[in-house]
Structure 1
């Protein structure tokens, strides 16, 4: 009972129910070029990468660290929203919602799945391919044959990408890959099904995405032949929120004086001797090392300034990757009038116009909730963020009228969607790898600056960029290297590539 009370007290701090009343300044051990045995470390960001990095340092015997988090709770892009009419309210996920790949026949286990099971987060298997209904602008339209063909085309795309790597051929866009493997969508149904296979995962179009990287991102996660976890997708339906697993994990080892919530960073001043971090309230934190786990979007938009400016090789890497946006739009209705499957696809003449729907009213999800949601990505996400809630709701309801022309659709009792792209703490949902982003760029995205400034997050994961388990692995790997550096009395850190060049020069 005492242990349970202790856990609750620390967890309350993490979720913002209790907050340290004054900022804790971290005194740097010294400013000598060789750090002391117990140097100070500041971890910027309390998402999965930040918490796992802190846990890794703790396990290595390094405890003089502080996590600085801008929001009032840990979780990063793991965030919830309570929606619904009074008496029928439900917690839905604004951000990450799934454990993508769990474990197959004793093979590799997704570390997110391990934490979800450890902390008892309630999930439900989500059938993305066997429980699907299809619609177009005339209503119900059976094009499941097109859907099945699009799944085969995506598999062909990833296999061909592997062959391209073996032959050491240059990368192309995924659109080029689709075309070269014979997939050229022409009809709205073709485009909607391709969207479901590709855009719904990467939050950008094939034209904007690397053929090779998008393929390995899929294979290393789902394909057991490539060391993946398997094709099972577990959706969080826990009313404490998906974020609970990382908050509970943090509560297992963090002390109250190792965290600062509601603390937004404005400036990072660094040198070979140490790092100063300035917060919006003027507080200056001093450290021997800083591990930055900000989203790629924050780094791209200069929401935090660096003094001196980050070196050209680092800035090039940051600006060469893409921060994509993935937007779930939730509606609640007084009664269920839609499809009885888990998933629905809407084929509009405009590609990507409210295409992927999910039924949460089912018994295994939120029975009796009257909740359904639709997802848009990329340019459509940015477009709707410029509209009012009322304008977006009107568009979404009009699509439902198209899908169900013979139904009198009532007014929603609840409507909500997050604006990830315009949120200054994130500037998008997760990273995507374009075809012009080379391995050297990726190495530079991870690389240490002046031995003291380190970087980690889902975007720095080569195999799992854009995935929640990518953030986990990067927090673990980078913090392990940082711990080794500290234990060795200093190091150069993760090295960078001075200049990124083409495999062969252009002939002009």
Structure 2
């Protein structure tokens, strides 16, 4: 007869086995990254009764969306616009229900996407304002030049940069060339275009530069910042801040995630919603390695940098326009300031360098960068008074972002965004760089978070044998769609 100890050992083994094999009370998911994509995915899966843990490397939520209150009022130092104020924008219903006002900065057909031509006050480096008629005329010429690049695209099977295509257009169309001050204004428009992509024109793909889907309704600046939206989405979630993920192990029956301090987390699946720059840095080790096509998508997608230097003054001394600009013979020498006073009533100008200029300024200390921005302002407004406070972003050098947002680089296909989004086993990917339709935008990040959550939900429940196609993560909310309030332009 078996001893009592032997029976106890058998019972113990049986108990351990059942603990391993028995399904948990509900499926579990780890979301990596607390930006808009990660929060959207975590919110959706939590609402679908999944056990969700969100791991964020920073000591705050939002990722490349960051509302700073150091001035005593909100200033978005990362993303700050809703591009497309319409019911088709997946973020519009939430912003509308929260009652958050937006300040309209353009209509649907702005060549530079987020501001209309009449909203600029441009100056040369001697402080002389460029006549508004010339600003508008050159802006229309720039739009014609971009339209002409379509012919260059159709004629060439090989890709080239948008800058090279513009050069070809100007060779063919002498009537579109600009001389003297007009040439400097044209370079300023090119500088603004580079700001849209956070990259220099000689690196932006001619084939793909205009493939993003632009929603209707114009573009609205978030007057009170994006933080209220983030806080609403994050309410009630299990969020672990200062948890930098270093390793992701995927197995047939789940994932094991290791963070910097050695602590591990396990779940049925994971949503990887970290910035493209972080993926490029290989600071997260995947085990086994990601497939070659996934690694190639990460390597080949472009990631650019646009920074913000916010200058807070004790009074307003600048024109009542939305953008102040400095024109120059080269786009690198041009610069621009967003006038927050016009939108929010606060005496703040935000200097916004992009591409190589952002990279060069990023090497400076905050004090030096603020001084550089102020010197640019003094060039056009010699009587400018000293700022009383400043804020400086470092998206390109911040190890949590290593860039601002993605763009199509020369010679690479536009479908890299979709390849980056495609799941690998029980790993699901989200973020603005996984959105083919809306790359580089907050609503693009948000929508990919929802898509990753739904893909994850279906895959995990399929394995559990509990898949219900009639109960998606996000229900049909079309009956309660509300569009945010747009403040009239003054």
Return the TM-score normalized by structure 1.
0.77
Residues 187-196 or 376-385, more deviating: 187-196
Instruction: Describe the superposition over 1:436-477 as per-residue Cα deviations: whole angstroms up to 9, x where unpaired.
Output: 22145334312222x112211100101111111111221122
Residues 68-77 or 337-346, more deviating: 68-77
Aligned to 1:97: 80
Q: Retained in 1: the 8 A contact 2:188–2:334?
A: no
Inter-partner Cα distance in structure 2 for 1:143 and 1:434: 35
Mapped pair 1:116 → 2:95:
yes
Mapped pair 1:214 → 2:209:
yes
Which of 209, 219, 239 is residue 233 of structure 1 equivalent to? 219
Which of 435, 440, 451 is residue 466 of structure 1 equivalent to? 440
Inter-partner Cα distance in structure 1 for 2:24 and 2:138: 58
Inter-partner Cα distance in structure 2 for 1:234 and 1:43: 29
Q: Judging changes above 3 Å, is the alpha-carbon distance between structure 1 residues 376 and 331 closer, same or farther for their aligned structure 2 residues?
A: same
Aligned to 2:228: 244
Aligned to 1:398: 375
Which of 62, 74, 79 is residue 75 of structure 1 equivalent to? 62
Mapped pair 1:436 → 2:422:
no
Aligned to 1:3: none
Aligned to 1:8: none
Post-superposition offset of 1:350: 4.5
Post-superposition offset of 1:159: 5.1
Mapped pair 1:456 → 2:452:
no
Mapped pair 1:293 → 2:287:
no
Instruction: Describe the superposition over 1:294-340 as per-residue Cα deviations: whole angstroms up to 9, x where unpaired.
Output: 00000111222223333332221111112111111111223322222
Return the TM-score normalized by structure 2.
0.80
Inter-partner Cα distance in structure 2 for 1:146 and 1:302: 48
Which of 181, 184, 188 is residue 192 of structure 1 equivalent to? 188
Q: Judging changes above 3 Å, is the alpha-carbon distance between structure 1 residues 245 and 135 closer, same or farther for their aligned structure 2 residues?
A: same
Q: Judging changes above 3 Å, is the alpha-carbon distance between structure 1 residues 459 and 154 closer, same or farther for their aligned structure 2 residues?
A: farther
Q: Judging changes above 3 Å, is the alpha-carbon distance between structure 1 residues 315 and 487 closer, same or farther for their aligned structure 2 residues?
A: same
- For the residue of structure 1 that corresponds to 2:385, the secondary structure is coil
Q: Which has the larger radius of gyration?
A: 2
Q: Judging changes above 3 Å, is the alpha-carbon distance between structure 1 residues 185 and 249 closer, same or farther for their aligned structure 2 residues?
A: farther
Aligned to 1:375: 352
Q: Retained in 2: the 8 A contact 1:37–1:487?
A: no
Aligned to 1:49: 37
Q: Retained in 2: the 8 A contact 1:111–1:472?
A: yes
Post-superposition offset of 1:293: 0.3
Q: Judging changes above 3 Å, is the alpha-carbon distance between structure 1 residues 142 and 471 closer, same or farther for their aligned structure 2 residues?
A: same
Post-superposition offset of 1:146: 4.8
Inter-partner Cα distance in structure 2 for 1:447 and 1:290: 13
Inter-partner Cα distance in structure 2 for 1:306 and 1:181: 45
Aligned to 2:127: 139
Q: Retained in 2: the 8 A contact 1:56–1:479?
A: yes
Q: Retained in 1: the 8 A contact 2:200–2:356?
A: no
Residue segments in structure 1 that go unaligned for 5+ positions in a row: 1-28, 222-227, 492-508
Q: Judging changes above 3 Å, is the alpha-carbon distance between structure 1 residues 385 and 430 closer, same or farther for their aligned structure 2 residues?
A: same
Instruction: Describe the superposition over 1:384-403 as per-residue Cα deviations: whole angstroms up to 9, x where unpaired.
Output: 11112232233222222210
Post-superposition offset of 1:195: 1.6
Mapped pair 1:174 → 2:162:
yes
Q: Retained in 1: the 8 A contact 2:160–2:206?
A: yes
Q: Judging changes above 3 Å, is the alpha-carbon distance between structure 1 residues 167 and 461 closer, same or farther for their aligned structure 2 residues?
A: farther
CA root-mean-square deviation: 2.9
Post-superposition offset of 1:68: 1.6
Residue segments in structure 2 that go unaligned for 5+ positions in a row: 1-17, 107-114, 171-175, 466-490
Q: Judging changes above 3 Å, is the alpha-carbon distance between structure 1 residues 30 and 299 closer, same or farther for their aligned structure 2 residues?
A: farther
Q: Judging changes above 3 Å, is the alpha-carbon distance between structure 1 residues 488 and 151 closer, same or farther for their aligned structure 2 residues?
A: farther
Residues 419-428 or 337-346, more deviating: 337-346
Q: Retained in 1: the 8 A contact 2:142–2:186?
A: no
Post-superposition offset of 1:119: 1.4
